[in-house]
């Protein structure tokens, strides 16, 4: 959101108020998963350390991970909308079922390099910011990445064209489109239920980030991990609109500045987090900092995988997204995110 804020930030800096809030403010905040690295290393420190220090103690917060609160991902936006929580972090995929405009920031198989993904997010962020405001009545503060989402399977596979008939755990409609395009069966299961589902044969494969898989012990039941990400894993930080508008200008400017720093740090840490995911699951590459590495087999992308991805993106992921989104929504995606990556969604 830096481009939108630049003029405001310049005025605040000129006035010498960017580093201090005017009034004492306490926030109730909900984070994402307490079992992964993002909450303890990035989300919680923003509210427990960065904002209190930057405000001279005037901004304080109570923040808990949604998993520690027994909440599901899709519940976060409702809790922000109703004011039960002042601010919250969440994955875009969990609110996409309510309106497909939110899907556009994190479609399956669109992900490329970190730099390209960040450009896509920056291009499309004004679209979702408007949707947050008009649909949910919340203020989007920033969008940040989780480690890329990867595919693992219990049994051996040679590449993307070797997954026909397999039951694949997904957590979003767009990943379901990908799974079905591969000739598989998409199955939606919460992260905490994946291991028993794999043990019972309810699913054969699954998608998540490497570190999330490792901390959830997927490596106990799956043995093969595909090296190329299938989704970017973009998340958001938002605040109840009424709560935001009740803040004075100095406090809003300070929060925006610290959120921008938080977002920058999350993007900067991405490569290391993704390397850790592979290292912890396979024992290859760098040393795993989260425990003893597993010995999963890393499946390299086959010669035909690039063509398979391109065909799946055009014929399944983007086409189905356009069908759900409608003409106006699709046109906005093509003008923003699509223009960045050189892709066009068509019904």
Q: Are residues 140 and 189 in the same domain?
A: no
Predicted confidence band of residue 5 (pLDDT cuts 50, 70, 90): low
Same domain, 52 and 195: no
Interval 182-217: pLDDT, tens: 999 999 988 889 999 999 999 999 999 999 999 999
Return the percentage of the chain with pLDDT > 70, whole number. Answer: 94
- Asked if residue 297 is part of any domain, the answer here is yes
Query: Domain check: are 116 and 90 in the same one?
Result: yes
Q: What is the mean pLDDT of residues 97-114?
A: 91
Specify the DSSP class assigned to residue 288.
Answer: P
Number of domains in the chain: 2
Helices 249-268 and 2-15, axial angle in degrees (round to 10): 130
Same domain flag for 251 and 211: no
Interhelix angle 249-268/270-282, nearest 10 degrees: 40
Q: Tell me: pLDDT of 30 over 50.
A: yes
What pLDDT is stored for residue 2 in this prediction? 65
Whether residue 156 sits in one domain with residue 8: no
Residue 318, in any domain of the structure: no
CATH code, 221? 3.40.190.10
What is the DSSP code (8-state) at residue 103? G
Q: Average of pLDDT values for 27-45?
A: 94
Regarding whether 169 and 25 lie in a shared domain, the answer is: no
Same domain assignment for residues 115 and 250? yes
Local structure of 39: helix, strand or coil? helix
* Structural domain harbouring 207: 149-230+283-302
Residues 105 and 254 in one domain: yes
Same-domain check for residues 89 and 158: no
What CATH number does residue 136 fall under?
Answer: 3.40.190.170
């Amino acid at each position: 959101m830096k481009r939108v804020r630049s003029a405001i930030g310049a005025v605040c800096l000129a006035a010498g108020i960017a580093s201090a809030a005017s009034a004492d403010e306490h926030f109730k905040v909900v984070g994402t998963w307490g079992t992964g690295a993002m909450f303890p290393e990035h989300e919680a420190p923003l509210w427990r350390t960065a904002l209190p220090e930057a405000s001279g103690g005037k901004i304080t917060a109570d923040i808990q991970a949604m998993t520690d609160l027994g909440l599901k991902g899709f519940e976060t936006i409702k809790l922000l909308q109703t004011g039960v929580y002042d601010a919250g972090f969440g994955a875009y995929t969990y609110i996409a079922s309510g309106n497909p405009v939110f899907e556009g920031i994190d479609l399956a198989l669109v992900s490329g390099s970190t730099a390209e993904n960040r450009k896509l997010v920056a291009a499309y962020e004004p679209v979702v910011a408007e949707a947050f405001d008009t649909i949910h009545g919340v203020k989007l503060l920033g969008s940040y990445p989780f480690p890329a989402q990867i595919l693992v399977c219990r049994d051996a596979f040679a590449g993307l064209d070797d997954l026909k008939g397999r039951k694949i755990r997904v957590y979003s409609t767009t990943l379901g489109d990908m799974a079905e395009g591969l000739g598989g069966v998409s199955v939606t299961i919460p992260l905490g239920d994946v291991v028993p589902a794999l043990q019972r044969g309810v699913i054969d494969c699954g998608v998540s980030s490497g570190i999330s898989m490792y901390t959830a012990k997927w490596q106990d039941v799956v043995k093969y991990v595909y090296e190329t990400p299938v989704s970017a894993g973009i998340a958001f930080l938002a605040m109840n609109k009424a709560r935001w508008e009740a803040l004075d200008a100095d406090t809003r400017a300070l929060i925006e500045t610290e959120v921008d720093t938080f977002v920058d740090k999350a993007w900067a840490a991405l490569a290391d987090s993704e390397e850790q995911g592979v290292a912890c699951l396979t024992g290859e590459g760098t040393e795993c900092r989260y425990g003893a590495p597993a010995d999963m087999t890393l499946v390299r992308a086959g010669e035909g995988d690039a063509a398979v991805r391109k065909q799946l993106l055009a014929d399944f992921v983007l086409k189905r997204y356009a069908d759900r989104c409608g003409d106006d929504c699709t046109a906005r995606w093509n003008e923003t995110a699509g223009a960045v990556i050189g892709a066009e969604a068509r019904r």
